[in-house]
Amino acid sequence: MRVVVYSTRAYDEEFLARANADGRHELVFLEARLDATTAGAAAGAQAVCGFVNDRLDGAVLARLRDLGVGLVVLRCAGFNHVDLEAAARLGIAVGRVPAYSPHAIAEHTAALVLSLNRKIHRAYARVRDGNFALEGLLGFDLYGRTVGVVGTGAIGACFCRIMRGFGCQVLATDPQPSPACEALGVRYVPLAELLGASDIVSLHCPLTPQTHHLIGREALAAMKAGAMLVNTSRGAVLDTRAVIEALKRGHLGSLALDVYEEEADLFFRDLSSEVIRDDVFARLLTFPNVLVTAHQAFFTSEALAAIAATTIANLDAFAERGAPLHPVSVERLA
């Protein structure tokens, strides 16, 4: 099949080309993001391949259908950026990579917790500047602390296991509790109880209409004073403006983010010589107790290899049977 691959970086091309080494699919790599202005590049293709910040709304999907595209394969687990109802109406199948390496994201989350707690990001810069003072770098023992995990699917469960390894008490909330987590000693409680009892709150639920701004003013006020909040799920699960207010008041102790609700115009690009026009994001970067990575939690060689292999498997299945191996359907939004 001819497949136009949007939002391609050199690493995507390398891993996808390796997974498609026999050339059974014709992959056309584009650096551009998929949106209404770039959809036309899919002319002549049977499928497009997209990533987290590609725009797959009704208008873009209708344009793709007009061009003859029958399949969208996502190189990610999340599908919040796809209008699934429009895809179903237009007869476009959507495939994704449901679990490529939950360890990659869970381990990055743990790295954020450790770095933010022990101020490794600040210590690194200080030591290189010949400043060996410790003032301002005080952390706390993770051992014995309470960690609240919102969403214990593939990634959340992995993160629970890591935090149990540090000797933390782990509370969780999920409409579908995991017996494997319960066996680890994770205790399921309502969100309000989790927020009030946790020293660290980590978000691992998908972005859906129900979880949009799940952590807003009210939830932040319900958190323990001085607690740490970590988001490696999707940006809009957090209300960023409310988070900034909570940081300014001093109620929120610290914040680590790998995702941001307006990240599409920022992340995955080198903007180091440009002016950041997003004032909310720029404000976040001014806090000493905020640590941001640019959607890199998935970025391990194991994860990239698995993403590429599953993407090719989705294309193979569609070519053979008319449906991707891991389809996403409208029902998943319910």
User: Which of 128, 143, 176, 209: binder of ligand NAD (CB under 6 A)?
Assistant: 176
- Span of 9-17, 53-61, 171-179, 180-188 interacting with ligand NAD by CB under 6 A: 171-179
Angle between helices 102-118 and 120-128 (to 10 degrees): 60
Q: Which of residues 74-133 bind ligand NAD (CB under 6 A)?
A: 77-78, 99, 102, 105
Q: Which is nearer to ligand NAD, 46 or 178 (CB)?
A: 178
What does the alpha-carbon distance between residue 171 and residue 190 come to, in Å, rounded to a whole number?
9
User: Annotated catalytic, 295?
Assistant: yes
94 phi-psi bin (left φ>0, alpha ψ -120 to 50, beta other) = beta
CB hemisphere CA count around 19 (13 angstroms): 22
Q: Where are the alpha helices (DSSP H) in 4-99?
A: 10-19, 58-66, 84-90
Binding of ligand NAD by 153 (CB under 6 A): yes
Question: Least separation, in Å, of the C-beta of 331 and ligand NAD?
Answer: 14
Member of 239, 258, 261, 263 binding ligand NAD (CB under 6 A)? 258
- The answer to whether residue 20 forms part of the interface with ligand NAD (CB under 6 A) is no
Given the complex with ligand NAD, which of 19 and 77 has the nearer CB atom?
A: 77
The active-site residue, picked from 263, 269, 277, 331, is 263
Of 69, 66, 89, nearest to 6 by C-alpha is 69
- Provide the b/e sequence for 165-188 (b: ≥16 CB within 10 Å): ebebbbbbbbeeebeebeebebeb
From the number of C-beta atoms within 10 Å of its C-beta (0-12, 13-18, 19+), residue 222 rates as middle
- Examine residue 304 and tell whether it contacts ligand NAD (CB under 6 A): no
> Which residue of this chain has its Cβ atom nearest to ligand NAD in the complex?
153
Q: What gap in Å lies between CA 121 and CA 27, rounded to an integer?
A: 39
- The catalytically annotated residue of 234, 245, 321, 331 is 234
Kindly state whether residue 298 participates in binding ligand NAD, applying the rule CB under 6 A. yes
Looking at residue 327, what DSSP letter applies?
Answer: B
Cβ–Cβ < 8 Å for 230, 205: no
Respond yes or no: is residue 277 known to be catalytic: no
Return the number of the residue (1 or 266) whose C-beta is nearest ligand NAD: 266
The active-site residue, picked from 25, 145, 295, 326, is 295
Rank residues 145 and 295 by Cβ distance to ligand NAD and give the closer one.
Answer: 295
- Please tell me whether residue 195 binds ligand NAD under the rule CB under 6 A: no
Catalytic positions, written as ranges: 234, 263, 295
